[in-house]
Structure 1
């Protein structure tokens, strides 16, 4: 985030280490819950998963902090490997050629969230750009709930960053919603304006 952007928004983007995510896990869960609209019992079930992700190979994270240190948003990912739940679900749904193309050297964008009151200030775009610049791998994948691409901020963001369809209408076990899996090659080149 540029100094001018920090002054205009009153927020700064910082890289996080695994211990930073662990230390701020309560804040991470609050942002996650607000952004996703999840009930508290579902958040508690996911808390352990998120905490364990910080120890995965290739872990990279960024956070957007207000000037007084409150967490406005965060994003993280890691290298995708067999035996990881998301990897295995998506890998098994793809044909062999797509598996090779996307998973041979893949950085998985696991979470990218901004508190609803802070949305609309390009924080998600800044987080995603920083995260992908730090990412290891030659490809990157993420999943997002299916939505109207014209009205969804997340979809517009991903398309602007060059993410394309890998799998549409996919249903993860335990979630009734349909998801899209989107991907792009790395390294990151600046998104179209």
Structure 2
């Protein structure tokens, strides 16, 4: 465990797959609130999130506050990209349709970490929790790059977009419509590792490799 003198700093807990699955209800509550989805969405998402935790290279962090360490206020997870994954196939098709060369597509998609989910409870946003989760998740990744998808918004004017741009994410595909979702998305990416100045230390970190802890 590493500590910091700032008492208001969030606690980040690295989750094992078993711990992640055990606490899916609280993690999905954050997801539904952050995405403003209707109640009940969490029941449809739970099997998919559970399946994700078994994928190669999977890693997850949960965030809580020192004054209430048992309540999750943020969640981030991802895993190593693979040609057999639906998201990989969708992004490959999007890059091809946008005119990227086969060589460039293969270069971008040959070795990457997919940042699958990053969410902070709405009433906890603006406290750098998303920034801390993102840096914790990426700081020790060994892949050459990280990719993600995020909904398009006018002028890139929301917290998620500002965070990703601040971390150096660049356009891979814009205004892409994934199968089954009518909204336009942007696929963004950047090289790894992160620059040292993008790895903040103003938080507590708890490693939980055996799945015995509580996020």
Shorter-chain TM-score category?
A: over 0.9
Q: CA deviation at 1:150?
A: 5.2
- Would the aligned equivalents of 1:63 and 1:75 in 2 still touch at CA under 8 Å? yes
Q: Distance in 1 between matches of 2:177 and 2:115?
A: 18
- Cα distance in 2 for residues equivalent to 1:168 and 1:192: 27
**1:123-142 alignment runs, 5 A limit:** 123-142=129-148
Match of 1:8 in 2: 8
Instruction: Give CA-to-partner distance per residue, 1:71-118, whole Å, 9 cap, x none.
Output: 000100100001211111111222313322211111000000000011
2:38 counterpart of 1:36: no
Partner of 1:107: 113
Q: Deviations over 1:130-153 (max 9, x none)?
A: 101132310110000001345311
C-alpha separation between the residues in 2 aligned to 1:73 and 1:134? 20
Report matched runs for 1:54-93 at 5 Å: 54-67=53-66, 68=68, 69-93=70-94
Whole-Å separation in 2 of the counterparts to 1:159 and 1:192: 15
CA gap of 1:192–1:168, structure 2 versus 1, over 3 A, is farther
Moved over 6 A (4+): none
Query: Partners in 2 of 1:135 and 1:60 — Cα distance?
Result: 9
Bigger mean CA offset, 86-95 vs 159-168: 86-95
What CA distance in whole angstroms lies between the structure 2 residues aligned with 1:184 and 1:42? Answer: 30
Q: Which has the larger radius of gyration?
A: 2
- Whether 1:119 aligns to 2:120 is no
TM-score, normalization: structure 2?
A: 0.83
Counterpart residue number, 1:156 = 162
Separation of aligned partners in 2, 1:37 and 1:13: 23
Which stretch of the first structure deviates more once superposed, 94-103 or 178-187? Answer: 94-103
Q: Which residue of 2 aligns with 1:176?
A: 182
The answer to whether 1:97 aligns with 2:106 is no
What stretches of structure 1 of length at least 5 have no aligned partner?
A: none
Distance of 1:114 and 1:41 partners within structure 2 = 19
Match of 2:173 among 145, 150, 167: 167
Distance of 1:66 and 1:80 partners within structure 2: 31
- Structure 1-normalised TM-score? 0.92
